[in-house]
Amino acid sequence: MLDLKMSKSFFIYTYGCQMNVHDSEKMLGTLEKAGYAATERPDQADLIIFNTCAIRAKAEQKFFSQLGRTKLLKRKNPHMKIAVAGCVAQESQEEIRKRAPYVDVVLGPQNIHQVRNIFSTPRQIFIEENPGIALQEYEMHRQSLSRAWVSIMYGCNNYCSYCIVPYTRGREISRPSKNILAEIADLKARGYREVTLLGQNVNSYRSDRDFVQLLYKIGLIGLDRVRFVTSHPRDLSPALIQAIDEIPCMCEHLHLPLQSGSNGVLHRMNRRYTYASYREKVFKIRDHIPDIAITTDIIVGFPGESERDYEATIHAVEELRFDGIFGFKYSERKGTRAAALDGQVPENLKTERIQRLLKTQELITLKRNQSLEGSVQEILIEGPSDTDPEMLMGRTRTNKIVNIRNSGEREGTMLTVRIRKGRQHSLDGDVIPG
């Protein structure tokens, strides 16, 4: 008789930051290695995993509503297992148990290696601290064949007063440099062209080497491009600026979250720098590397943010002329220090403030993109453009999107282009035959 035992299938929903995207690649790889099969169809899966984000209330709500819809699938297929992983899993296991008793497994970000046991364990919660995480090596199923994420450290010790991450990802811990270097050398051997190093605050990377020493070592591997996210402005050192300048593969892009232009707000956010010191660093970086693109994160409506504080942020954005900003309305996170502060800002005022902030930046981004018209840029092709299959999309070293005519180049090809037009969200380019 035929063996009818087919391999079980799973589907992963991913929310949140690059770390979660990469954690999903680890879970996918681990489950496939254990003999399970990924499926495109959640309604046919034996296991559904939610890799969740808790950074703002909205991200959490998105997950909870999808979870509610999935409950109906489970009603039709009672053998289906549901697992909640990621930052909400770590922070809100009680709430998940209460709101969704049909969830079988809860799996925090420090315990994703346990994913291989989900099928064989009954209901279970994996949220204990895992100091071994820095030594954990994973099977990974990467989404791209040319660009790869590489974790260099886990957790965060900064405790910015608004932020849930130190509670969900645990204490800061760095991977040994030899593991990181081996992973990157292997990627290079398999034809990868770009690596993005991941950590909540890469400047505090510390194992047998510090971050700058690690970058020089990575520079010797011979990749085309290396990036990192995210660096904390307080710890951005002259040595790091020099490293970006000197090491050929280091891309001319820095994401440097400012959060606010007001010293009072920065202090209450526990950011431990002033606007003047941030500004100084930006000027210094641009002095050394004039073509560098700098992007940032801004929060409006932090508790106690006055009209004057807000104007200071607008002033900062106008003065520093970022290449792009990610703007957020402050979202209260239970258990953080900011949640206990007086002076919560009403929602409609937050909305007004974010709208004007984004409007102010829009024009700056457009002007900066237009200033690139006529320049020659190297782009790494990612694939057909999202909006127009006749076009191909690639990225500059400064992380800007460039659209070119589709002449069939594959993902991972490097091309030289001349920028014809700068737009709000992208650039148009023409290939310079080479």
Instruction: Look at strands 401-405 and 427-431 and give their pairing.
Output: parallel
Least Å from the CB of residue 301 to ligand SAH: 8
Report d(CA 108, CA 54) in Å as an integer. 12
Helix 238-246 to helix 275-288 angle, to the nearest 10 degrees? 30
Q: Given the complex with ligand SAH, which of 292 and 415 has the nearer CB atom?
A: 292
Task: Give the interface segment with ligand SAH, choosing from 120-128, 160-168, 283-291, 313-321 (CB under 6 A).
Answer: 160-168
Report d(CA 191, CA 412) in Å as an integer. 9
Upper half-sphere CA count for residue 129 (Cβ side, 13 Å): 8
Among positions 86, 170, 257, 429, the unique one binding ligand SAH when judged by CB under 6 A: 257
Query: Does residue 163 belong to the site contacting ligand SAH (CB under 6 A)?
Result: yes
Residue 37 in tokens: 């099969």
- Select from ligand SF4, ligand SAH, ligand F3S, none the partner in contact with residue 166, using the beta carbon and a kind-dependent cut-off of 5 to 8 Å: ligand SF4
Query: Does residue 395 belong to the site contacting ligand SAH (CB under 6 A)?
Result: no
- Whether 71 contacts 100, CB under 8 Å: yes
- Whether 89 contacts 107, CB under 8 Å: yes
Least Å from the CB of residue 143 to ligand F3S: 17
Q: Containing H/E element for 112?
A: none
Among positions 18, 121, 159, 319, the unique one binding ligand SF4 when judged by CB under 6 A: 159
Among positions 15, 149, 154, 328, the unique one binding ligand SAH when judged by CB under 6 A: 328
Query: Does residue 96 belong to the site contacting ligand F3S (CB under 6 A)?
Result: no
Query: Does residue 271 belong to the site contacting ligand F3S (CB under 6 A)?
Result: no
- Select from ligand F3S, ligand SF4, ligand SAH, none the partner in contact with residue 87, using the beta carbon and a kind-dependent cut-off of 5 to 8 Å: ligand F3S
The closest residue (CB) to ligand F3S is 16
- Whether 344 contacts 289, CB under 8 Å: no
Task: Give the interface segment with ligand SAH, choosing from 107-115, 159-167, 403-411, 415-423 (CB under 6 A).
Answer: 159-167
Q: Given the complex with ligand SF4, which of 175 and 232 has the nearer CB atom?
A: 232
Among positions 153, 165, 317, 354, the unique one binding ligand SF4 when judged by CB under 6 A: 165
Question: Which has the closest alpha carbon to 158: 306, 257, 88, 60?
Answer: 257
- Select from ligand SAH, ligand SF4, ligand F3S, none the partner in contact with residue 219, using the beta carbon and a kind-dependent cut-off of 5 to 8 Å: none
Residue indicated by tokens 């849930």 = 164
Q: Given the complex with ligand SF4, which of 47 and 160 has the nearer CB atom?
A: 160
Query: Does residue 53 belong to the site contacting ligand F3S (CB under 6 A)?
Result: yes
Instruction: Look at strands 124-126 and 105-107 and give their pairing.
Output: parallel
Residues with Cβ < 8 Å from 2, sequence gap 6 or more? none
Query: Does residue 169 belong to the site contacting ligand F3S (CB under 6 A)?
Result: yes
Query: Does residue 55 belong to the site contacting ligand SAH (CB under 6 A)?
Result: yes
Among positions 28, 54, 105, 243, the unique one binding ligand F3S when judged by CB under 6 A: 54
Report the interface residues with ligand F3S, using CB under 6 A. 16-17, 19-20, 53-55, 86-87, 164-165, 168-169
Binding site for ligand SAH (CB under 6 A): 55-56, 162-163, 165, 200-201, 230, 232, 257, 259, 297, 299, 328, 330-331, 333
